[in-house]
Structure 1
């Protein structure tokens, strides 16, 4: 399956085995593309995405591997700089907070818990994939190069000959090759200690996830920083430090991006009477309509009126 998306609200919906929420981290249109391969008890997703903050939760019955395809990329994962040629390994139910100020190329592999035992055996029995675990590891250069080359090749093949993977045998072959490369990647870590986030980073990550959970529980109304601090029982400085240190975005901008996303969802909706841009903006707290229009264009690459007219034209 191949997807090209310009809406961050939809960009995290296509991954099997994990829930993702993306927030853009820079001005300009958001863009994401991905190719997904369903390989029995594994799923491979290869793609690229604009600079963003990602809040991810692994499904209770899955594990997750996150791999950057750029050898020089340095992401912020759970408040820790990943460093080049590293990968993240996450157990069932794990929460992951990942941020990048630059466009990223990535490969994600989700796999059933039935595979967890065999993958963990590659590290002499170390429980890297226990439920809720999140580990950042640095493999050998050759093992990293092998699996990233495989992911890139699979992604390129979808563009060149998309019918190839409709056959069972090509999918089976890809699964076996991917599983072998995965084993070698984990085994190559050897005795090197995993990169673990300090206790302060874990506490800050919990604040960010609690904020996101509160926002998702109140999608019917805009939330502001003061309300969020009161709801979470934290000070404004603690909230700001949590966001800045783990996700490179201020709480104010995070909430503003969320309100812009809510406006866009209303404008894109085909249900009920057609809304007026002004009334939708005001109902979501945007009283300076000129600034709202500029912020909306910066976030989505078009004026809010253009969004509305485009939906009306396809209704």
Structure 2
């Protein structure tokens, strides 16, 4: 899981699995001139982060998947999500996903949409474009064919000029899809408030990771009612604040175990440091989420580098 997040975008994205058992996922990545193409297949999870200041990220599903939301907006085929510089990424992927991402340098993206006669997208918030069925299908087929080629025949990319030709073709089909799209902006004021509240709740967890956090103190810190906070988490992540915070803590324990030195005492120390004081209950919850005991995670990652496949 952490390895897949790193392969996607360094440590910018934070993943929280919402299924049971060991997380499964794979990433096919192709870096071309001005655009980084990624095809991602993965198990259910929540993800949060923010688009870097010099990038624009685009996301499109390869196959239909129910329940996918981005920053509180429904995200389904043939919708293209545009995430400009500084845009929040708070998504729920409740089922297995097969999707593609195109990550442009910001200046390259602005040049491309200018050629299409499209006004620049305001920074800091996401935008949803409803594509035509034909244009969406062509974009998906083109991009998946490129990533398949990169996986199966990587030696082809030693051919001079191939990168530039593929980048040009990617730009062409993307521009064609944009020209036939219908645009609406995401992140209305109410949605923006919800995103802010879940971000601030996550910040509060990090600042108080070594102890339990109760709903009433979280509401006091964020200056919202329990009902408002519950509605925000339900809209953005499809779960209650406490359910989210518990999963977030479990992920942080998993990450700490992966990088810790091996010893039985180390497991207990890490668990207590992350606010879990009922060790038996913690072990059950950890097993349900990751498909292994904490000691097994520690042993599996001791003295070796985590693999690219999560």
Which interval holds the TM-score relative to the shorter structure? 0.7 to 0.9
* Partner Cα separation in structure 2 for residue 55 and residue 168 of structure 1: 38
Q: Which residue of 1 aligns with 2:300?
A: 310
Q: Which residue of 1 aligns with 2:291?
A: 301
Q: Which residue of 2 aligns with 1:22?
A: 15
- How far has the Cα of 1:73 moved from its partner? 4.8
Q: TM-score when scaled to structure 1?
A: 0.85
Q: 1:77 to 1:102 in 2, by over 3 A?
A: same
Q: 1:164 to 1:250 in 2, by over 3 A?
A: farther
Q: 1:288 to 1:213 in 2, by over 3 A?
A: closer
Which of 67, 79, 85 in structure 2 is aligned with 1:92? Answer: 85
Query: What SS class does the counterpart of residue 161 from structure 2 fall into?
Result: helix
* Partner Cα separation in structure 2 for residue 66 and residue 223 of structure 1: 36
Would the aligned equivalents of 2:262 and 2:302 in 1 still touch at CA under 8 Å? no
Q: Which residue of 2 aligns with 1:280?
A: 270
Would the aligned equivalents of 1:67 and 1:88 in 2 still touch at CA under 8 Å? yes
Which of 143, 148, 158 in structure 2 is aligned with 1:151? Answer: 143
1:196-239 CA-partner distances (Å, limit 9, x unpaired)? 454322211121122234445x3863562444333322233222
1:271-313 CA-partner distances (Å, limit 9, x unpaired)? 5976443343233232332321221112212111212222447
Structure 2 gaps, min length 5: 306-310
Between 293-302 and 231-240, the greater mean CA deviation after superposition: 231-240
**How many pairs were matched up?**
304
* Partner Cα separation in structure 2 for residue 198 and residue 312 of structure 1: 46
Which of 70, 74, 91 in structure 1 is aligned with 2:63? Answer: 70
* Partner Cα separation in structure 2 for residue 102 and residue 57 of structure 1: 22
Q: Which residue of 2 aligns with 1:211?
A: 201
Matching of residues 26-41 of structure 1 within 5 Å: 26-41=19-34
Structure number with the bigger relative contact order (C-alpha 8 A, sep ≥ 6) is 2
Q: TM-score when scaled to structure 2?
A: 0.86
Structure 1 gaps, min length 5: 1-6
Matching of residues 175-214 of structure 1 within 5 Å: 175-189=167-181, 192-194=182-184, 196-214=186-204
Q: 1:205 to 1:123 in 2, by over 3 A?
A: farther
Matching of residues 44-59 of structure 1 within 5 Å: 44-59=37-52
CA RMSD in angstroms comes to: 2.7
